[in-house]
Structure 1
């Protein structure tokens, strides 16, 4: 492929943060960029471990995986020491990445798209005279909170005890509507507090990049995006949901899960319309054992059909949940959410999962755990009004949600005939329509991606 293009090709280097919630949007963006022009060559940089994990991921021919050694802790169990893992990505990857750039065949990269948190890439690009584009894989509002974090300190809201002051309103961050302290990113305690300085450093370096890319649909966060465009001083592109919506027309490629060879698609096909609750708590962090027991038995007592993606403790969950549902270690999430038998989404509210649920037109039960998941849950429940919150309190302020409460909540949530349920589903369909319009031909996503591609092409040819 590369030899055929010779010197006329445009090389893009993609450097994602090595975590599932960051690699997926970077790979989806890479596929969308590569589909715009055949003379764009994308070198997608991953560790050797991640190459093994991504080996079967669908990608276009003009994308190739470029590997660096396993210099950061394994993906397996990285949640046990999040601060240590983040520190490794900031101190161990730069040297191998530079050596990889030295090994690349011509042409010289026209741009490096990097995950915002890997802020050392800005220095690499500037030293080598290669433009860099910062890809922020969380909401625009989370970026804005970090960008203006000094305002929290100036107004006496940081540091602060959220368990005591969580209901206080923050109404001075440009572009952000009035928000309770408790609904800001969870950076006031625990592991998040330990890494906050690294997140703020990463955001502070974004103005030194040449472009900023948001993994958001413009129509969903237009006011915040417009406010940032007026203040930031570099081109900003809202390049869409960065979920695999462009592959939805394909048939399910991996219908067996490898766990007792269960075919979850056949199982979904045999369930009544909108009767299944899809449950996923994400790939990184989990809940306490006591709370997990309440969730398991609450789900069982609700009597509701479910499809639960669980990466650990499958036998324990299977034993407790009864036989109304199916447990799998993996599934093609967006296609499952778009299946007609799925009627609701129990989610940890990671930004990728949130966008997939909205794209599928589903209501949510929210159980946020960490970082940006807390404001995402607030957006789902209070701003969009397409979900109900399961979790009560965060950090020291958290209260156990009992199995009786969970069973009653799930039953109400999955009742398609209730007035509140119908209204919530109507709003979810309205948001779905916004997403469909934005991602269709000529929509805001295509317009923004094309504008970004044109920008980097001009850099290449001049």
Structure 2
């Protein structure tokens, strides 16, 4: 969920800093998690509201049960969302809504109230387009996937195992498969579509998307824009804070540890906020990292293991190897870690936010995607952009060790570093004044203001006529 909340919250803050009155709506569970670790702040013109998600307080809301959250939210009566949007008219009217692509039921309520709605694709364009193609794949009889390895979703670029995980189902009537395909298709009925990316990074896929969603804004990387707006050069940190929202308290000791390391000698390891590992998988990764010969900084969340006691009784040789070469923490400021000169590679779950942050920082990746669009993102990292290696669907110690060594010191390592440095420069140009992301952000804000004036006038007329 943090992968969806983070870019939405950053966009809300950016719009607020640009002078719009913004209310950020989330669930009570998410609001509690953010508030517990100072991951979200408000200021004049920026407000946060929350609603129940319909699940009991002790529900884990983890990756394995992620769909239960969406199903519960979708099951809430439309009156709940309608009454909320009406309530939010105070102290000012709701004149425009930006809604997560996977919450189409909220968008539909807004539209019934006459509120213009734009969709935010919180993942990347490549994952969105693969999801968008699902109904066509079903119609063509391609899902369940046939025996052949290649698939023409993106001009034969993607292999079967590179498609989003819902495509791996054996029954085309699977609710998750149908739901994701339908949700992305509905974006064609919205006012526009937003992505947290830079235009040149995804130009080929964006051309496909704009053939069906012509009004598509690329406004990323949002954290870079937010940082520039919230704390310009020479100023102190602004009231909204440009750092990413936190699920857990950050461990700052890792920065001191990184300061003591040589340039580009550390592998940063983080599997995001939802990925879960079994104890055997954890140990395979641990052996592989220890055997690679490289130092590593590893984020192991308190809820990352499937077994409650899975972190206990780590073999003595691994504990010793970690003491000599590694640093293990519960959570970090990822943007800050990736920017540290000691970090030479990123072992990642290939979530879109992590992928964009690594590209912005110029850090090559070792990809171990867990689910959904991460499968597509990792393929783009390895074969489209050539800024890392993909080891999806396997995590044996030999593969982990060899892949880490290949990215850190292999014959392609210099090429990957040059490629990611080039992309990093392109992305920085996007967010500079006059760059494509700034231009698209200005266009989005102009559209919001123009439509809001029309909506406000219509609401005023309605009140007088009533």
Please state which band the TM-score falls in when normalised by the shorter chain. 0.7 to 0.9
Q: Report the TM-score, using the length of structure 1 for normalisation.
A: 0.84
Runs of 4+ residues over 6 Å off in structure 1: 248-255
**What are the equivalent positions in structure 2 for 1:20-35 lying under 5 Å apart?**
20-35=2-17
**What are the equivalent positions in structure 2 for 1:57-456 lying under 5 Å apart?**
57-59=39-41, 61=43, 62-72=45-55, 76-92=60-76, 94-104=78-88, 105-160=90-145, 164-165=147-148, 167-170=149-152, 178-189=157-168, 193-232=174-213, 235-243=215-223, 246-247=226-227, 263-312=253-302, 320-321=318-319, 322-323=322-323, 324-391=325-392, 393=393, 400-415=394-409, 418-456=410-448
Distance 2:56 2:350 in 1: 25
The Cα of 1:458 is off from its aligned counterpart by: 0.8
Segment of structure 1 superposing worse, 347-356 or 321-330: 321-330
Distance 1:317 1:245 in 2: 42
Distance 1:317 1:235 in 2: 52
> Is contact 1:277-1:345 (8 Å) kept?
yes
RMSD: 2.8
Corresponding residue SS for 1:308? strand
Whose relative contact order is higher, 1 or 2, with alpha carbons under 8 Å and at least 6 apart? 2
Gaps of at least 5 residues in structure 1 are 1-18, 394-399
The Cα of 1:223 is off from its aligned counterpart by: 2.5
Q: Report the TM-score, using the length of structure 2 for normalisation.
A: 0.83
The Cα of 1:109 is off from its aligned counterpart by: 1.2
Gaps of at least 5 residues in structure 2 are 303-309, 455-466
The Cα of 1:339 is off from its aligned counterpart by: 0.8
The Cα of 1:351 is off from its aligned counterpart by: 0.6
1:272-309 Cα deviation digits (max 9, x unpaired) = 11111100112112234322221111112223111111
> Is contact 1:307-1:325 (8 Å) kept?
yes
Segment of structure 1 superposing worse, 282-291 or 245-254: 245-254
> Is contact 2:150-2:157 (8 Å) kept?
no
Segment of structure 1 superposing worse, 178-187 or 238-247: 238-247
The Cα of 1:60 is off from its aligned counterpart by: 5.5
Structure 1 residue 46 corresponds to structure 2 residue 26: yes
Q: Structure 1 388/253 Cα, relative in aligned 2: closer, same or farther at 3 Å?
A: closer
Q: Report how many residues are paired.
A: 424
